[in-house]
Amino acid sequence: MLLATRLYGQKASIGASLNIPHLARRASTWANVPQGPADVSITKNSRMLSNYSHIVKGYSGVKGITEAFRSDNSKEKINLGVGAYRDDHGKPFVLNSVRAAENLIVSSGLNKEYSGITGLPDFTKASATLAFGANSNVPERTVTSQTISGTGALRIGGEFLSRFYKGSKKIYIPNP
């Protein structure tokens, strides 16, 4: 995380117990990005907690999917709500295609080189071709970036639009 230098009117004695992650966040460029309700185990400052007292805990779509899975009597069901395939006993189930991909990666002897800020060029080019079609000229006119996850991609895309897109910034979010 890049840190910006900011001074706060707080004094701390040398022997004081400091919450370093909390202080680092307050000094960072992310200081004004909401994180949700404050964690009571981290901060005991009731003034800070009151800033979040109006927030109602949201519904977990994943929890609803898991509950539906548990109530389903089908013997061939697979729980897709937990972020991983699981069998009827709750144990992780790894797809054969994933095992084959793992074996390909291990046998290829990759050098573990850092891929760069926008990802692996061959991967991003192939992704754009897959998304827009082999005969499309769109990939030639776009920039494709590889991210760490779906949530990471949404964050990066949202931040980019927030900073640079001048048009309407209406965002549609599914439920769930």
With a CB cutoff of 8 Å and minimum separation 6, the contacts of 73 are none
Beta strands in the chain (DSSP E): none
What is the structure's pLDDT at 32? Answer: 53
What is the structure's pLDDT at 176? Answer: 64
Contact criterion met (CB below 8 Å) for 27 and 6: yes
CA atoms within 13 A on the CB side of 145: 14
CA angle 44, 49, 54 (to 5 degrees): 160
Q: Is the pTM of this model over 0.85?
A: no
What is the structure's pLDDT at 6? Answer: 34
Contact criterion met (CB below 8 Å) for 146 and 172: no
Q: Which of 155, 150, 151, 156 is nearest to 118 (CA)?
A: 156
Stretches in the chain below the pLDDT threshold 50 = 1-18, 25, 29-30, 35-44, 46-47
Exposed (0-12), middle (13-18) or buried (19+): which is 79, by Cβ within 10 Å?
Answer: buried
Q: Which pair of structure tokens corresponds to residue 33?
A: 């990005």
Q: Which pair of structure tokens corresponds to residue 100?
A: 């084959």
Residues 77 and 88: their CA atoms lie apart, in Å, by 8
Ramachandran bin of 34, using left for φ above 0, alpha for ψ from -120 to 50, beta for the remaining angles: beta
What is the structure's pLDDT at 60? Answer: 65
